[in-house]
Chain A
Amino acid sequence: MKVLVAVKRVIDYNVKVRVKPDQSDVDLANVKMALNPFCEIAVEEAVRLKESGVADEVVVVSIGPKAVQEQLRTALALGGDRAIHVETESMPDSLVAAKILKGVVEKEQPDLVILGKQSIDSDNNQTGQMLGALTDMPQGTFASKVSVEDGSVEVTREIDGGLQTVKLQLPAIVTTDLRLNEPRYASLPNIMKAKRKPLDTLSTDELGVEVKSTVKLLKVEPPAERSAGVKVADVDELVDKLKNEAKVL
């Protein structure tokens, strides 16, 4: 079975983002970038499927400028077999990304596609589902457990209020939630080995996708600041303030 994993280069989740003074976007110049945490979980799950003998090849794909190859190398160091870089000038929005991934799916014919449930930059939570619609594959979103057995995959999903299990016929799409697994760290020898693993570059023309966004970003602002609060001395004062000052009790 072949597994395709889509990964995205995003700002490191520990970095506190700053909005540009002209409010055109957030400032990403000289900021540490990393693999999106949900994508790491996706890679980990694919590699575990390979280690357990379910999958025989793990292909990782990323879309964006040349710099995304760093994240593809990371994914290869974590256990991916080969990588595909679809080169675009900037990061496309979810629909375009899904169309590009559809092109990759048609080329590679994977049995399972694993994506993160959302990227921590745009917080969209769309690409996996959109790819599902475009390829007419069933989807198991927000997965906290995945098990593959004879031609289908059973996915336990995190939903509001608890868990739901669905059974999907392969080929299918799974998007990862945080509790699916604990991603491993890349060891130094594996990082070295990853440099020699194959990495192909594709253009959007080859995939026949037009990179065009129908959503315009007009402005990016910092969120409204909360005014500084007060420290209270004890429980009595706290309850008193909540009752009489804030009037929320």
Chain B
Amino acid sequence: MSILLIAEHDHQALNPATAKTLTAAAKMGDNIDVLVAGENCQAVADEAAKLSGVSKVLVADNAAYGHQLAENVAALVAELGKDYGHIVAPATTTGKNFMPRVAALLDVAQISDIIAVESADTFKRPIYAGNAIATVQSEDAIKVVTVRATAFDAAEQGGNAEISAVDTVIENTKSRFVGEQLAESERPELTSAEIVISGGRGMQNGENFKLLEDVADKLGAAVGASRAAVDAGFVPNDMQVGQTGKIVAPQLYIAVGISGAIQHLAGMKDSKVIVAINKDEEAPIFQVADYGLVADLFDVLPKLNEKL
């Protein structure tokens, strides 16, 4: 049975999570078709066609998919997905939004946020905020799966898949897009950055995040935050790393003034190297840190900035 992978994109470029999800899909079987649903999204389709291992790219280019409303996208995916053995998407907020709707429309269960593929029907996924790893087997005819992109390497370039248009247009009158406010950032995106530096309550206020940003700019790193820092209003919530925020797994994660609550650890403990900078030597973050520095962050950050 073939696999339908739903591409994540912003209508202009393919999100890196897609190439990682492709690697996961390739472990489930062959014949992977990629669906690009959006508006004026030909460039995304071209990009997807170049990924190694893609058999075919389906493009549903219509204003109805312009804001990727779950009601429209889910109905489209369920319609196309009937003939596939697996329907796979990255576990981003977009994927999490429409995929369970797809599963319910097809009357099958969904396996969320997998971190490993054991076989075509058996997957590993974290439960209880990453404090346990479950191995689950799906008996459904169609496996609807969302993939934790950070758990897989990106598929390589070098493909040359054929691109074909999908004419199905699904519109609904029950929901409509009103507007969006996107946080602007010139730094790399949090979930795909090689280095992430995050601040917690210990940063004391939003202005002090400048200290982190200076270091981040030298390292080419993304800036994250703990829930405490977000709830205190220091930074916007799309910077939150944790179970309820973003899951990251960079090469290097630097936690500054973060105690290391379970909720936060669930979002970053798969990073290759973890550095903790905290003045409380009892902070739980030191239990997962490869390198710990017990010191005041206001002394450390300027020095670190100078050394880099």
**A190 in contact (CB, < 8 A):** no
Contact sample, A vs B, 22 pairs, CB 8 Å cutoff: A17-B131, A94-B110, A123-B113, A125-B112, A126-B103, A129-B74, A130-B103, A133-B100, A160-B191, A163-B182, A169-B173, A214-B108, A214-B109, A215-B109, A215-B138, A218-B122, A220-B132, A223-B130, A223-B131, A226-B274, A231-B291, A235-B303
A149-171 to B contact mask, C-beta < 8 Å, 1/0 = 00000100111111111111100
Interface residues of A in 158-199 (CB under 8 A from B): 158-169, 172, 177-179
Whether B128 pairs with A17 at a CB distance below 8 angstroms is yes
Q: Is B139 an interface residue (CB 8 A)?
A: yes
The interface bits of chain B over 101-121 (1 if a CB of A lies within 8 angstroms of the residue's CB, else 0) are 111110111111100000000
Docked-complex contact B175 and A168, CB < 8 angstroms: yes
Residues of chain A lying within 8 A (CB to CB) of residue B263: 13
B-binding segment of A44-52, A81-89, A200-208, A237-245 = A237-245
| B163 beta carbon closer than 8 Å to chain A | no
Asked if B134 contacts A162 (CB within 8 A), the reply is no
In the bound assembly, the distance between CA atoms of A248 and B227 in angstroms comes to 26
Question: What's the dominant secondary structure at chain A's contact region?
Answer: mixed
Segment 30-70 of B: residues with Cβ below 8 Å from A: 67, 69-70
Q: Are B307 and A239 in contact (CB under 8 A)?
A: yes
List chain A residues, Cβ under 8 A from B128: 11, 17, 26, 120-121, 123
Report whether over half of chain B's contact residues are helix, strand or loop; otherwise say mixed. mixed
Could you tell me the distance in whole angstroms from the C-beta of A178 to the nearest C-beta in chain B?
6
A124 within 8 A of B: yes
Q: Which of A70-78, A105-113, A134-142 contacts its partner?
A: A134-142
Q: Is A232 part of the binding interface, using a Cβ–Cβ cutoff of 8 Å? A: yes
CB distance from B94 to the nearest CB of A (A): 7
A29 interface residue, CB < 8 Å from B?
no
B300 within 8 A of A: yes
For the complex, count residues of B whose C-beta is within 8 A of A.
91
B132 lies within 8 A of A167 (CB): no
Min CB gap B21→A, angstroms = 14
Residues of A whose CB lies within 8 Å of any CB of B are 11, 13, 16-17, 19, 26, 93-95, 98, 117-118, 120-134, 136-142, 144, 154, 157-169, 172, 177-179, 213-223, 226, 228-232, 234-236, 238-239, 241-242, 246, 248-249
Q: A219, B134: Cβ atoms under 8 Å? A: yes
| CB of B89, distance to nearest CB on chain A (Å) | 13
Contact of A141 among B70, B227, B287 (CB under 8 A): B70
Measured CB to CB, the residues of B under 8 A from A are 67, 69-71, 74, 92-94, 96-105, 107-113, 122, 125-140, 172-183, 191, 195, 219, 227, 230-231, 236-238, 243-244, 246, 251-252, 262-263, 269, 272-275, 281, 286-295, 300, 303-304, 307-308
Q: Are B244 and A177 in contact (CB under 8 A)?
A: yes
B293 and A139 contact, CB distance less than 8 A: no
Going nearest first, the 4 A-B pairs with the smallest beta carbon separation are: A129-B100, A138-B175, A133-B104, A130-B104
Minimum CB–CB distance for A136 against chain B, Å: 8
B71 A219 Cβ-Cβ under 8 A: no
Residues of B within 8 A of A17 (CB): 128, 131-132
Q: How far is the CB of B99 from chain A (nearest CB, A)?
A: 8
Q: Which of A126, A127, A138, A242 contacts B252 (CB 8 A)?
A: A242
Docked pose: A165 CA to B69 CA in angstroms: 11
Inter-subunit contact B103/A167 (CB<8 Å): no
Given the contacts A94-B110, A213-B109, A142 and B93 also touching, CB distance less than 8 Å? yes
CB nearest to A93 among chain B residues: B109
Please name all residues of chain B whose beta carbon is closer than 8 Å to the beta carbon of A248 when the two chains form the complex: 195, 251-252, 272-273
In the complex, A230 Cα to B287 Cα: how many Å?
Answer: 10
Residue of B nearest to A165 (CB): B178
Q: Which residue of A93, A94, A226, A239 is within 8 Å of B308 (Cβ)?
A: A239
Distance A11 CA – B131 CA, assembled complex (angstroms): 12
Is A160's CB under 8 angstroms from B97's CB?
no
Q: Is the CB of A231 within 8 A of B294?
A: yes
Q: Is the CB of B131 within 8 A of A235?
A: no
Report the minimal beta-carbon distance from A20 to chain B, rounded to whole angstroms: 10
Distance to closest chain A CB from B231 (angstroms): 8
Chain A residue nearest to B101 (CB atoms) is A133
Contacts of A125 in B (CB 8 A): 96, 100, 112-113
From A95, A218, A226, contact of B269 by CB (8 A)? A226
Given contacts A133-B104, A231-B294, contact A239 B132 (CB under 8 A): no
